[in-house]
Amino acid sequence: MKISMLIFFFLYVSAFCGAQTKIPEYANFEKDEIELKVCHFDKDADAVIIFDKANAGYNDEHNLVTERRIRFKILREKGIEKANIQIRYYSYENFETIRGLQASIFNIDDEKGQVLTTLDKKLVYDKKLNKYYSELSFTMPKVKVGSIIDYKYESVMKNYGALREWYFQQEIPVMLSSYHLSIIPNAEFAWSVYKRTSIPIDIKPDPKGGTILFEMKNLPGLRNEAYMASARDYLQRVNFQFSGFTNYYGKQNYSTTWKELSKELLEDKDFGSQITKNLSNSDIIKSLCAKASSPYEKMRIIHDYVRFNINWNNIYSKYATEGIKEPWEKKTGNSGEINLILINLLKSEGLDVFPLLVSERENGKIDSTYPFVDQFNKVAAYVNINGKGYILDGTDKQTPSYMVPFEFLNTIAFMVAKKNSTLITIIDPDRKKKNTIVLKGDIDVSGTMKGEVWVNNYDYSRLEKKVKYFKNKQKYKDEEFLKPYAAVKIDSFQINDLESDSLPLKHTFKLNYTLDKSGDYYLLNYNLFTGFEKNPFLAEQRFSNIDFGCKYLCILDGNFNLPQNLVSESIPKNMKLVSPDNSMSVSRQIELNSNSLRIMLKIEFNKTEYLADEYDMVQEFYKKMMDVLSEPVVLKTK
């Protein structure tokens, strides 16, 4: 993804102007739209956005006013769900309002011909999602394949500083995306474009008129791909941020460097000012830390207290919008409040701690060339102990102090400090997703194997499994151990060491497995409980990078006792397969002694991320690896 970035300064602004692509009037549908059957640049699409157009400007109160118009067509049955439309907006303290909503749907009826239906406003629902966000939702009536939906609305935000980003690309293809911006007088702002070099963009700045127009055409839909950390990283978009504003009182500068951003945040009453607040009833922390034998132990005690005693309300924030005293007393708060409490307590105990702005993996990677603070969705704590950095998240109840939260891996964070603020690339070179499987089975004369299985999960694998287990215990067992293996039955299923961070997560159970049979032959599949049942890389092309997050290691040790009436007809060869860049490998060793068969598998990935350009290599390795893992031991009846 190529990043284009420029800074423009506007001092005078007039009405909207500029050569924009002309679009049809509202609810007027053109012949080529009516006849459209397939999106020519994304032929598998279930629906297509014909145009998504916005005009953003301001009113006399200097509100940010955006008029938006969207028209799309349903191409296949699966696309009908796109007629369920949600418009999310920031409703906290009435900061944003949505008004003037209109929607129409065009259909061809066998009897009536062309039919235009207008949305009944009684079918529009406005609901509050949480303290900060609300959602306007509606479903268009009489939707079917061939329907064209046209709707428009106006967003009014109290502050022009709410100007953030415009996404040209979406999960379904877009034929035209247009964003026309009029800049408030005397404002200085920066913008950055994120796009692939192969997809052109039309940018028309008009400094004299105080406007700028962005347009992109024929954008294929961005669908979810296996091991894609964030779709946002690959969506074609433009980001905006203010750098200054001049009024009667002079010029007010906004942060235009990382150093200035750090200074601004440390002086912010909802951020830096909270770090040194005196928290009532914090004697419990001093009491708990009194017996700590080291700075690390002190850090762990405080981190554990916060993550286990203060509940996250699932609202993301970088700020303590309610301060930290009330969330501390009520033991609940948003992510900013909880982690600023954590930083406050760590600092009060003499630890070298700093706020760390992070953009979680699903939120997308940041542009490190310009200090867009809104790129980050969270603040965490960075603790320096004897030159070693620890990254703590008080909202994460599963990740212990010595590990980096998985959602932060392979991202760039910003450490906020008075003197040495810096960007940090977050990795964890010491820990992997590690799994070990030990299987002991006895195969009887009928081709049924009974045995015991021990599956241990370490480090990031342990964290992943714990989250899934506590989310739905029964579903966890079914999806992790039963559904992938139709011929396997399990009983006496137990999970141990759920609460001990220093130990692996241990699964033990008994197994009953009926081998596949063909005539006098039985096929023993030994690739059990590794997680490699299906190949996730079957698509011909790859749009996004492959991001595993961390390194990976899986070891299987299978021991099978054969009955007297079965002999080995075909034993797979011992082998080792290595990717061309030596980052991925799978090895297999098989030992046959009398009626005892031992099979050992080792799968190892020592690289955490692969570029989209490396997809062919990864795909080819996976294909060969899956062939290795699916090669059975063939047993024959005597």
- Per-residue pLDDT, 171: 92
With both helix axes pointing from N to C terminus, report the angle between 335-348 and 295-309 in degrees, rounded to the nearest 10. Answer: 150
pLDDT at 5 over 90: no
pLDDT tens, residue by residue, 469-491: 999 988 999 989 988 888 899 99
Whether the Cβ atoms of residue 173 and residue 219 lie closer than 8 Å to each other: yes
- What is the arithmetic mean of pLDDT over 238-264? 73
What's the CA gap between 473 and 466, in Å, rounded? Answer: 10
Give the angle subtended at the CA of 247 by the CAs of 246 and 253, to the nearest 5°.
35
441 Cβ partners below 8 Å, 6+ apart?
A: 449, 450, 451, 452, 511, 513, 558, 559, 560, 561
pLDDT over 90 percentage in the chain: 73
What tokens appear for 125 in the block?
Answer: 């629902």
Note every long-range contact of 482-488, with CB atoms under 8 Å and residues 24 or more positions apart, other chains counting.
484/533, 485/513, 485/528, 485/529, 485/533, 487/513, 487/514, 487/515, 487/516, 488/512, 488/513, 488/528
- Per-residue pLDDT, 374: 81
Q: Which of 49-53, 150-154, 283-287, 352-356 has the lowest mean pLDDT?
A: 283-287
pLDDT tens, residue by residue, 79-128: 999 999 999 998 988 999 999 999 999 999 888 889 999 999 999 999 99
pLDDT at 8 over 70: no
pLDDT over 70 percentage in the chain: 95
What's the CA gap between 501 and 57, in Å, rounded? Answer: 53
Phi, psi of 140, rounded to the nearest 5 degrees: -70, 140
- Per-residue pLDDT, 178: 97
Helix (H, G, I), strand (E, B) or coil at 92: helix
Buried b (16+ CB within 10 A) or exposed e, 319-330: bbbbbbbebbee
What's the CA gap between 188 and 9, in Å, rounded? Answer: 5
pLDDT at 16 over 60: no
pLDDT at 630 over 70: yes
What tokens appear for 194 in the block?
Answer: 């994120």
Whether the Cβ atoms of residue 101 and residue 118 lie closer than 8 Å to each other: no
- Per-residue pLDDT, 1: 43
What's the CA gap between 509 and 491, in Å, rounded? Answer: 6
Most confident option among 5-9, 49-53, 209-213: 49-53
- What is the arithmetic mean of pLDDT over 4-8? 38
Whole-number Cα distances in Å, 236 to 47, 62, 180, 410, 485 = 19, 28, 16, 21, 40
- Per-residue pLDDT, 12: 30
Higher pLDDT, 330 or 370: 330
pLDDT at 19 over 80: no
- What is the arithmetic mean of pLDDT over 594-609? 95
Higher pLDDT, 634 or 187: 634
pLDDT tens, residue by residue, 567-586: 888 899 999 999 999 999 99
Strand-pairing partners, residue 606, are none
Higher pLDDT, 239 or 292: 292
CB atoms within 10 A of CB 149: 22
User: Domains along the chain?
Assistant: 2-250 (2.60.40.3140), 258-426 (3.10.620.30), 432-637 (2.60.120.1130)
pLDDT tens, residue by residue, 266-311: 999 999 999 999 998 889 999 999 989 999 999 999 999 999 999 9
Q: Strands 174-182, 47-58: parallel, antiparallel or unpaired by DSSP?
A: parallel
What's the CA gap between 573 and 559, in Å, rounded? Answer: 17
Question: What's the whole-number average pLDDT of the chain?
Answer: 91
- Per-residue pLDDT, 312: 96
Helix (H, G, I), strand (E, B) or coil at 325: helix
pTM, two decimals, is 0.82
pLDDT at 467 over 50: yes
pLDDT tens, residue by residue, 494-524: 999 998 888 999 999 999 999 998 888 999 9
- Per-residue pLDDT, 10: 36
pLDDT tens, residue by residue, 421-461: 999 999 999 899 999 999 999 999 889 999 999 999 999 99
pLDDT at 534 over 60: yes
Phi, psi of 275, rounded to the nearest 5 degrees: -70, -30
What's the CA gap between 620 and 208, in Å, rounded? Answer: 54
CB atoms within 10 A of CB 9: 13
Q: Which of 296-300, 539-543, 608-612 has the lowest mean pLDDT?
A: 539-543
Q: Strands 133-139, 84-90: parallel, antiparallel or unpaired by DSSP?
A: antiparallel
Which of the four pLDDT bands, split at 50, 70 and 90, describes residue 133? confident
Which of the four pLDDT bands, split at 50, 70 and 90, describes residue 245? low
pLDDT at 9 over 70: no
The one-letter code for the residue type at 331 is: K
What's the CA gap between 89 and 134, in Å, rounded? Answer: 6
- What is the arithmetic mean of pLDDT over 309-317? 94
CB atoms within 10 A of CB 538: 11
- Per-residue pLDDT, 248: 56
Cα–Cα nearest to 532, from 554, 564, 561? 554
pLDDT tens, residue by residue, 394-416: 999 999 999 999 999 999 999 99
186 Cβ partners below 8 Å, 6+ apart?
A: 11, 245, 246, 247
Helix (H, G, I), strand (E, B) or coil at 553: strand
Which of the four pLDDT bands, split at 50, 70 and 90, describes residue 6? very low
